[in-house]
């Protein structure tokens, strides 16, 4: 089978994955604290030193395959909400939340108080402080820039904010939760908390729409290439099979 056919199949699969990534970004363009994902592509060798391949094979090779995604960690804009339990981070830090699958990290500071008085996420997971879970006292909470939480003059806890060394492979776990390799989180030093605000998603809808259109066009090109390969193989089969025997 022409190596270009394999390249076309893998390139089409790559563009299908890319479309899923871009569509997910667009779906979360208004999700507080969401971090955009960007597709990473690498080349497929449609020919070897001893096989130059067809012109179609070489053209298909230029589209490459998807080797993964990278997380865009750039700061999103902050938007005031007036809700005392809405918190935004200025800087690279993450909030820490405790889930059934272990600690997770988020930039979505849309928090609330559970019926038992704990500070939790909309998913019901505990928001972690520097000494464990945070018990909220009755009354309006005041949260300082360093994450210290107080109510009626009494300190109830301090938010745990963490950073990660450059290059740490954060993994999206759905919604706005991210996981990281064990023991890579360190106490944040260059970030601050802004009460009564949320961080907007860092997805650029216009750029994402352009990426979506380009990915759709490339996928259509790969589909046409596969149709051409199939036509060539059908033609070859029709000419060669009668000669067998």
Question: Model confidence at 171, in pLDDT bands (50, 70, 90)?
Answer: very high
Burial 90-110 (b: 16+ CB within 10 A, else e): eebbbbbbbeeeebbbbbbbb
116 vs 9, which has greater pLDDT? 116
What pLDDT does residue 175 have? 79
Collapsing DSSP states into helix, strand and coil, what is residue 154?
strand
For 19-23, 30-34, 117-121, 126-130, which range has the lowest pLDDT when averaged over its residues? 19-23
pLDDT of 40 strictly over 50: yes
The angle subtended at Cα 71 by Cα 65 and Cα 77, nearest 5°, is: 135
| 168's tokens | 């740490």
pLDDT of 110 strictly over 90: yes
Question: Model confidence at 17, in pLDDT bands (50, 70, 90)?
Answer: confident
Question: What's the pTM value of the predicted model, to 2 decimals?
Answer: 0.77
What pLDDT does residue 46 have? 45
In angstroms, the Cα distances linking 112 to 125, 131, 140, 193 are 10, 19, 12, 16
235 vs 205, which has greater pLDDT? 205
Instruction: Give the span between the Cα atoms of 225 and 140, in whole angstroms.
Output: 63
pLDDT of 233 strictly over 60: no
pLDDT of 209 strictly over 70: yes
Instruction: Give the span between the Cα atoms of 177 and 81, in whole angstroms.
Output: 22
Instruction: Give the span between the Cα atoms of 25 and 7, in whole angstroms.
Output: 27
The angle subtended at Cα 96 by Cα 104 and Cα 123, nearest 5°, is: 65
Collapsing DSSP states into helix, strand and coil, what is residue 57?
helix
Question: Model confidence at 205, in pLDDT bands (50, 70, 90)?
Answer: very high
Q: Which long-range contacts (CB under 8 A, 24 or more apart) does 7-11 make?
A: 7/44, 7/46, 7/57, 7/60, 7/61, 7/63, 8/60, 8/222, 8/225, 8/226, 8/229, 9/226, 10/44, 10/65, 11/44, 11/60, 11/63, 11/64, 11/65, 11/218, 11/222
Percent residues over pLDDT 90 in the chain: 58
């Amino acid at each position: 089978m022409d190596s270009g056919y394999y390249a076309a199949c893998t390139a089409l699969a790559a563009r299908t994955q890319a479309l899923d990534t871009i569509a997910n970004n667009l779906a979360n363009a208004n999700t507080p604290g969401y971090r955009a994902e960007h597709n990473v592509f690498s080349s497929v060798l449609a020919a070897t030193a001893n096989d130059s391949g067809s012109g179609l094979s070489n053209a298909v090779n230029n589209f490459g395959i998807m080797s993964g995604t990278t997380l865009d960690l750039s700061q999103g804009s902050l938007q005031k909400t007036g809700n005392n339990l809405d918190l935004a981070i200025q800087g690279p830090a993450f909030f820490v939340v405790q889930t059934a699958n272990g600690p997770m990290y988020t930039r979505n500071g849309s928090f609330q108080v559970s019926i038992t008085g704990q500070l939790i996420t909309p998913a019901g997971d505990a928001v972690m402080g520097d000494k464990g879970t945070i018990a909220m006292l009755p009354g309006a909470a005041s949260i300082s820039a360093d994450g210290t939480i107080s109510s009626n003059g009494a300190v109830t806890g301090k938010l745990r904010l963490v950073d990660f060394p450059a290059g740490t492979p954060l993994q999206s776990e759905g919604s706005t939760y991210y996981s990281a390799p064990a023991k890579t989180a360190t106490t944040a030093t260059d970030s601050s908390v802004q009460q009564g605000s949320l961080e907007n998603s860092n997805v650029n809808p216009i750029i994402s729409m352009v990426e979506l259109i380009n990915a759709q066009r490339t996928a259509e090109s790969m589909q046409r290439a596969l149709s051409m390969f199939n036509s060539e193989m059908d033609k070859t089969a029709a000419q060669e099979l009668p000669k067998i025997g």
